[in-house]
């Protein structure tokens, strides 16, 4: 994670991300659980459509499938749709009886006067007026309470240059030597960067606010809406809360430590009860380059966050991304950004009271006492789960009164104890070990180094916490733990019970007496993920789960208006699990608890993000991120040309909108 990466080497961003985020790579010689699964699926090679499904079904004994069918008939699932067959091909697939339409693609117009998408001649100026790349979080903010007209807010997490730029990346052969044996390995070699290409990358990051409406059953963007907005790496923002003005966030461009340009790596996020849009800054370290001396006063703090990660070489043309030239700039990223989508000219605020981590998302709930509770995962192996409780109460009658609620409150980090309790430990300067003697001279230090604060408080090291989602219907909170193949046998604990956890798990927290602000909760494991028919995996899907219904690597999730759980995944593939990523419906209650069903699956190479339902549960928005990004994928040769399937048109990350044919709830 902390080793220096050279931007223009032979690795694509996917390679770097996989190494960094541990999507099933392990340098040890021991066969991993992933290897065991891989052996099952790699025999079949790449299969399309129903042929692939048949082959997958054949790996599970007919007896097991029969048992699943019988078990399903005997249980009471909250879901009635007909399950999609798992597999891998170039298309997306949704359950029968539902439409899955493309709503917005990378390069689509966000404004009536945006230039048409011209991938062969893309410019930074055009990209700044068009829908960005790699859509991740999706929020829907109803206009006048409607489920058919509202503001769609979408994060654009990162860019894949090799898939975006024509005549740029090439497939080359590299000689690799391992154990004295040389072999030819084919790799994607990135091209040369120019200021214009980096400008396109920067404008393709950030977020989009766009009005959408449903007419005659079909959703479409409203391009002349005054709400429409692009947020990018250059959008001026304010640092607010306890870190504002700290010496550690002052730079040459901002000697006050209060004004930041832009946001990046916005993964998941949230919509607050008062209708603002939260963009979580995740892998910010990857955008910094430069050299850090061992005696640099920030060396240890950088290292805890993997700065400089060197995934992008923006620092080549923009000094602020070179830590040698601007050592405090990394402290200005890793926050939760709040955007008022009802004012396209408003200045987004980085809410430092929520701490600086690799924030996956920031989902919230109004507590019974009116305070608002935000749940955040810090997505890295062995990092922590947090919750922030506002000091003030939410005022449903006065939106303006809520607009600075996120500046005051208490951030807590979770310690999952073996007795089934969670202790939420406050990150408050002066309390416990968070003192000057331990290098925290004030609350700004505690928040800038939230990870180290969690370390000294004794928080539980988790298997990569992603979305953390409260369920207002049941008082439960779901924690997606995507995977961690670096956990060793002697590092297993009650809440992270599998060594070499290739497929992740889901924890269910119960807040005491429905009090989401409680500092003591209880917890249970809802699911250990992976193929339940492979005993070594130790997956715990219910017996009613079919061969299509199980999944690995939970990432984002949604709770629908009925309180039902839907889980999207990141990291399933032909090689890893014999299936693409997708959206699975998971029963949490009654005799069907732990039963999972596949509702939607993405095209090859893509990841499934952003599941989000309208308040009436009749529309589901889904984000298909990095389609075609598998194997030796380039602009010229992606693994799929989804969604346009036109020669010369690249593969395009897109928002998909799912509705029931003939109308009605998604059930
Ligand atoms: Fe951007 Fe944690 O996934
Ligand atoms: Ca994610
Ligand atoms: Ca979510
Ligand atoms: Ca992920």
Ligand 1 atom at minimum distance from 136 CA: 1
Q: Which residues of 97-122 are buried (b: 16+ CB within 10 A; e: fewer)?
A: ebebebbbbbbbbbbeebbebeeeeb
pLDDT in tens, 396-444: 999 999 999 999 999 999 999 999 999 999 999 999 999 999 999 999 9
Ligand 1 atom at minimum distance from 377 CA: 2
Q: Which of 214, 225, 229, 222 is nearest to 130 (CA)?
A: 229
User: Which DSSP state fits 591?
Assistant: G
**pLDDT the model gives residue 384:** 98
Q: Which residues contact 300 (CB under 8 A, 6 or more apart)?
A: none
Ligand 1 center to residue 145 CA distance, Å? 30
Q: Which residues contact 402 (CB under 8 A, 6 or more apart)?
A: 272, 273, 274, 394, 395
Read out DSSP for 460-483?
A: PPEE-EEEEEE-TTTSEEEEEE--
Q: Which residues line ligand 1 (CB under 6 A)?
A: 157, 267, 282, 360, 379, 466, 555
Ligand 4 center to residue 432 CA distance, Å? 33
Query: Around Cβ 293, how many Cβ atoms within 10 Å?
Result: 8
**pLDDT the model gives residue 72:** 72
Ligand 1 atom at minimum distance from 265 CA: 1
Closest residue by Cα to atom 1, ligand 1, is 267
Query: End-to-end CA distance of the chain, in Å?
Result: 41
Ligand 1 center to residue 19 CA distance, Å? 14
Ligand 1 atom at minimum distance from 157 CA: 1
Q: Are strands 381-383 and 385-393 parallel, antiparallel or unpaired?
A: unpaired
Alpha carbons 499 and 489: distance in angstroms, whole number: 5
Asked whether 15 and 7 are in contact (CB, 8 A), the reply is: no
Q: Which residues contact 543 (CB under 8 A, 6 or more apart)?
A: 67, 68, 71
**pLDDT the model gives residue 75:** 81
Mean pLDDT of 567-579: 97
pLDDT in tens, 49-94: 333 333 333 344 545 655 666 777 778 899 999 999 999 999 999 9
Ligand 1 center to residue 633 CA distance, Å? 21
Q: Is the pLDDT of residue 488 over 90?
A: yes
Q: Which residues contact 64 (CB under 8 A, 6 or more apart)?
A: 533, 547
Ligand nearest to the CA of 609: 2
Q: Which of 605, 619, 614 is nearest to 656 (CA)?
A: 619
Q: Which residues contact 234 (CB under 8 A, 6 or more apart)?
A: 202, 203, 261, 262
Ligand 1 atom at minimum distance from 21 CA: 2
pLDDT in tens, 289-347: 999 988 999 999 999 999 999 999 999 999 999 999 999 999 999 999 999 999 999 99
Alpha carbons 284 and 276: distance in angstroms, whole number: 22
Asked whether 653 and 625 are in contact (CB, 8 A), the reply is: yes
Q: Which residues contact 217 (CB under 8 A, 6 or more apart)?
A: 659, 663
> Which residues are 186's β-sheet partners?
173
Ligand 3 center to residue 138 CA distance, Å? 8
Strand order in the sheet with 349-351: 259-261, 236-240, 349-351, 336-339, 277-281, 266-271
Longest dimension (CA), the chain: 72
**pLDDT the model gives residue 5:** 37
- Looking at per-residue confidence, does 69 or 458 come out higher? 458
Asked whether 469 and 375 are in contact (CB, 8 A), the reply is: yes
Looking at every residue in the chain, the average pLDDT score rounds to 92
Structural tokens at position 46: 């790449």
Ligand 4 center to residue 21 CA distance, Å? 8
Ligand 1 center to residue 156 CA distance, Å? 12
Ligand 1 atom at minimum distance from 464 CA: 2
Ligand 3 center to residue 156 CA distance, Å? 15
621 three-class SS: strand
């Amino acid at each position: 994670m902390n080793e220096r990466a050279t931007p223009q080497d032979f690795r694509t961003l996917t390679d770097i991300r996989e190494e960094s985020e541990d999507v099933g790579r392990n340098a040890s010689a021991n066969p991993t659980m992933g290897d065991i699964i891989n052996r099952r699926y790699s025999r079949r090679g790449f299969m399309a459509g129903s042929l692939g499904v048949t082959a997958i079904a054949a790996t599970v004994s007919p007896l097991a499938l029969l048992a699943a069918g019988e078990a399903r008939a005997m249980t009471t699932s909250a879901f009635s749709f007909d399950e999609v067959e798992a597999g891998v091909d170039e298309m997306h697939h949704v359950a029968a009886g539902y439409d899955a339409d493309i709503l917005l693609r990378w390069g689509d117009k966000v404004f009536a006067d945006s230039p048409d998408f011209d991938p062969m001649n893309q410019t930074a100026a055009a990209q700044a007026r068009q829908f960005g790349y790699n859509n991740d979080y999706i929020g829907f903010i109803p206009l006048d309470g409607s489920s058919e007209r509202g503001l769609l807010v979408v994060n654009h997490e990162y860019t894949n240059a090799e898939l975006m730029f024509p005549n740029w990346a090439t497939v080359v052969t590299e000689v690799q030597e391992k154990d004295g044996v040389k072999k030819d390995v084919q790799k994607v070699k990135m091209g040369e960067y120019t200021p214009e290409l980096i400008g396109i990358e920067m404008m393709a990051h950030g977020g989009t606010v766009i009005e959408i409406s449903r007419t005659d059953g079909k959703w479409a963007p409203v391009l002349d809406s005054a709400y429409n907005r692009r947020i990018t790496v250059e959008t001026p923002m304010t640092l607010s809360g306890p870190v504002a003005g700290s010496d550690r966030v002052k730079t040459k461009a901002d000697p006050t430590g209060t004004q930041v340009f832009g946001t990046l790596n916005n993964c998941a996020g949230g919509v607050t009860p008062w209708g603002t849009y939260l963009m979580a800054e995740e892998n910010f370290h990857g955008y910094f380059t430069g050299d850090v001396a061992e005696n640099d006063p920030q060396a240890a703090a950088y290292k805890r966050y993997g700065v400089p990660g060197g995934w992008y070489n923006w620092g080549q043309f923009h000094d602020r991304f070179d830590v040698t030239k601007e050592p405090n700039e990394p402290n200005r990223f890793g926050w939760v950004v709040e955007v008022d989508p009802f004012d396209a000219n408003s200045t987004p605020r980085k809410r430092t009271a929520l701490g600086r981590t690799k924030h996956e998302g920031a989902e919230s709930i109004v507590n019974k006492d009116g305070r608002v509770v935000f749940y955040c995962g810090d997505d890295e192996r062995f990092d922590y789960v947090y919750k922030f409780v506002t000091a003030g109460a939410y005022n449903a009658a006065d939106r303006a009164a809520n607009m600075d609620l996120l500046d005051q409150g208490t951030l807590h980090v979770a310690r999952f104890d073996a007795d089934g309790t969670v202790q939420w430990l406050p990150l408050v300067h002066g309390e416990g070990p968070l003192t000057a003697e331990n290098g925290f001279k004030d609350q700004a230090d505690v928040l800038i180094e939230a990870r180290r604060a969690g370390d000294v408080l004794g928080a539980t090291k988790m298997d990569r916490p992603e979305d953390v989602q409260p369920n207002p219907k049941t008082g439960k909170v779901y924690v997606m733990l995507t995977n961690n193949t670096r956990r060793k046998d002697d590092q297993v604990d009650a809440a992270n019970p599998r060594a070499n956890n290739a497929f992740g798990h889901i924890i269910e927290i119960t807040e005491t007496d429905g009090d989401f602000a409680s500092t003591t909760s209880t917890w249970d494991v809802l699911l250990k993920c992976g193929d339940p028919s492979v005993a070594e995996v130790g997956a715990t899907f219910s017996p009613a789960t079919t061969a299509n219904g199980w999944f690995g690597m939970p990432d984002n999730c949604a709770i629908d208006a009925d309180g039902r759980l839907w889980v999207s995944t990141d990291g399933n593939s032909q090689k890893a699990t014999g299936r693409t990523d997708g959206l699975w419906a998971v029963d949490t209650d009654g005799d069907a608890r732990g039963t999972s069903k596949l509702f939607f699956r993405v095209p090859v190479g893509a990841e499934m993000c952003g599941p989000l339902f309208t308040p009436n549960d009749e529309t589901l928005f889904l984000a298909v991120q990095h389609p075609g990004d598998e194997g030796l994928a380039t602009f010229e040769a992606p693994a799929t040309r989804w969604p346009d399937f036109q020669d010369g048109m690249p593969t395009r990350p897109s928002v998909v909108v799912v509705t029931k044919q003939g109308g009605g709830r998604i059930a």
